Amino acid sequence: MDWRLVASTFALVFLAEMGDKTQLVAISLAATTGRPLSIAVGAIAGLAAGTVMAVGAGQLLPAILPTVWTRRLAGMVFLLTGLVLVFRRT
């Protein structure tokens, strides 16, 4: 196990998840249900399932698409998402 990779992945995911919708939902559910352990277990399971699917896709994608194009596609998705959020009318 590459512990430096584990630590850097943890740090990146932890920072990326700070203040996102998942945390807001968990805060809301914990506040309204009064069952923080159940909410924590459900949220952790949901995040774990999503992460496992993302890692699986990351393992399969290079067989279909070269890594450079995977990075470019990810960059385009981030840029398009940002543009939609910036220019969306509310």
pLDDT tens sequence for the chain (90 residues):
999 999 999 998 888 888 788 888 899 999 999 999 999 999 999 999 999 999 999 899 889 999 899 889 989 999 999 899 899 876
pTM of structure: 0.68
Q: How far apart are CA 46 and CA 55, in angstroms?
A: 14
* DSSP class per residue in the chain: --HHHHHHHHHHHHHHHTTSHHHHHHHHHHHHHS-HHHHHHHHHHHHHHHHHHHHHHHHHHHHHS-HHHHHHHHHHHHHHHHHHHHH---
**Residue 48 CA: distances (Å) to CA of 17, 40, 53, 54, 87:** 13, 12, 9, 10, 32
